[in-house]
Structure 1
Amino acid sequence: MAWFRRSASHPVTTADPGGAAETRRDRAVALAGALPTGQGPWDAADRDIEERPRLDLGALQLPAISGMQLVPVPDPADQQRIGALEIVVAASQMQISLVATKRSGGLWAGMVEEFAEALAAQDIPHEIVLDADITRMTAEPQSEQGAMPMLAEAYQGRGWLMRVIYRGAAATDEAARECLSDVVRGCVVRRGEEFLAPGDTIALSPPQNVADGTEG
């Protein structure tokens, strides 16, 4: 089953004294309120973006670091488009994807709820953590090799949401995750003007040459 941790900035109550479970709407409001702001990943329109070498993937400029491996993941709705990227650095692994949202945000709350319900239905241990900086979900689905820990988090931008899923050691070991977290913090998103409904995948392009800085 899912459970919630409390925090000073975003307290969440899982049940009242009578034992009634909190409502879906209450959880959604709490989750939406925990989305981070004022930090990377950045929107291309932001000022004072740190200049560093980045790979140009169209809607996403990804920091380039030594030894990084990229594996494009097709969009399930259109196999001809890149819907996500698997990124491997040493023994650490994560997946990054972008989806369209309303500028007011709120999409991540529903995604977490749906994911939590799906995991609970399969009796997969998981946890949603609300704190002052970010909303995270951890889980340990089983694979042929045994439990495969995962950590999912999201970042809300102007009309976009970046989903990040860490796997393996990066999901449980902060030191193993740090090199990937640095990549996430250095990402720049260029949403573009294409009309996309909330929840639609923002397609990525094949990696282009590394740029020294960031174009707006």
Structure 2
Amino acid sequence: MGLFGFGRKRKAAQDEDHGEAAGKADVEDPEQDARLTGQERGVDRGPWDVNDEDVIDYDDYLDIGSIFLPFLQGVQLRIKSSRESGEILAATVTFGKSSLELEAFAAPKTLGLWDLMRSDLAKANSQAKEVEGVFGHELLLPVTVKGKGMMTRFVGVDGPRWMLRGIFSGPATKGGKEKETLDRYFMDVVVDRGEEPLAPRDRIPMHAPVSPAERAAAKAEDEGAGEGEAKIPDKPTGPFDSDQQTEVKTTLSRGPMFSEVR
């Protein structure tokens, strides 16, 4: 298999029928998976919703609640959480000198959220520049971090009652291998909106990382007890309301999981 995801279930079946490798889609140019060719989110490409008919196979993904993260060799994961409550606020993956921060927000049933959030960002920053990119309308936004100026790239994709926002920094704002890799990574993310009542723009709750093995063990334990759904300990409900953050760092790559914890 390639680096990105684990292949759509439908795609894998088609590849098997034709005697092809299930990971063939991994080497395609992400530009060819995007708006430029008219492909549709949830059918031909991601980010995916857990209930999409053709959702990518995410059984081996890392579960952090609202988001299921693919494993990718060389990627590190940093989790931001509330210092007071321990609530998870965002996840950032780093690849090379680039990073991608991921957040999922609740959205109205009948209206996309990205257009509104993008407009608000542009109005709040006169230096913001809207561009056409892999994910449609994107924003290039200069920011200052620890006294150093840097360019960020904001993208958003609307799903069923959710919007997934990605903030790219480093070389991934321009082009080359790191941009291609993280663009594909963003496409392979799977979002779980859940059924919690949330207002538009509320962050969809996250929890501490749960590995595929831990998820399978919890599911087996619950099924053995005659219950229908696996329980994740300390999984939060409702929107987050704190911006006090701490960080937990770990690797997010194939092989032994969480081999590096700082």
TM-score, normalised via structure 2 length: 0.59
8 Å contact kept, 1:101–1:160: yes
Report the counterpart of residue 57 of structure 1 in structure 2.
Answer: 64
Q: How does 1:51-200 map to 2 (within 5 A)?
A: 51=57, 53-74=60-81, 79-120=85-126, 125-130=127-132, 133-144=135-146, 146-200=148-202
Percentage identity across paired residues of the two chains: 28
Using the TM superposition, give the Cα deviation of residue 130 of structure 1 relative to its aligned residue in structure 2, in angstroms.
4.4
Q: In structure 1, list runs of 5 or more residues that go unmatched.
A: 1-35
CA contact (8 A) 1:103 1:157 kept: no
Q: Which amino acid aligns with 1:45?
A: N
Secondary structure at 1:109 match in 2: helix
SS at match of 2:179: helix
- Say if 1:145 and 1:172 are closer, same or farther in 2 by CA, change over 3 A: farther
* Paired residues of 1:149 and 1:172 also in contact (CA < 8 A): no
The CA deviation string for residues 66-99 of structure 1, in whole angstroms up to 9 with x for no partner, is 12211112369x8532121111112220100000
Superposed CA deviations along residues 150-200 of structure 1, whole A, max 9, x for unmatched, are 100101111100000001111112422121122111111111110000010
Please give the TM-score of this superposition, normalised by the length of structure 1: 0.71
Coordinate RMSD, CA, aligned: 2.7
Q: Aligned residue pairs: how many? A: 174
Please report how far the alpha carbon of residue 40 of structure 1 lies from its aligned counterpart in structure 2 after TM superposition: 0.1
RCO higher in structure (CA 8 A, sep ≥6) = 1
The answer for the alignment partner of 2:51 in structure 1 is: 45
Task: State the AA in 1 paired with 2:118.
Answer: V
Q: Which runs of 5+ in 2 are unaligned?
A: 1-39, 214-218, 220-228, 230-262
Q: Distance in 1 between matches of 2:150 and 2:107?
A: 29
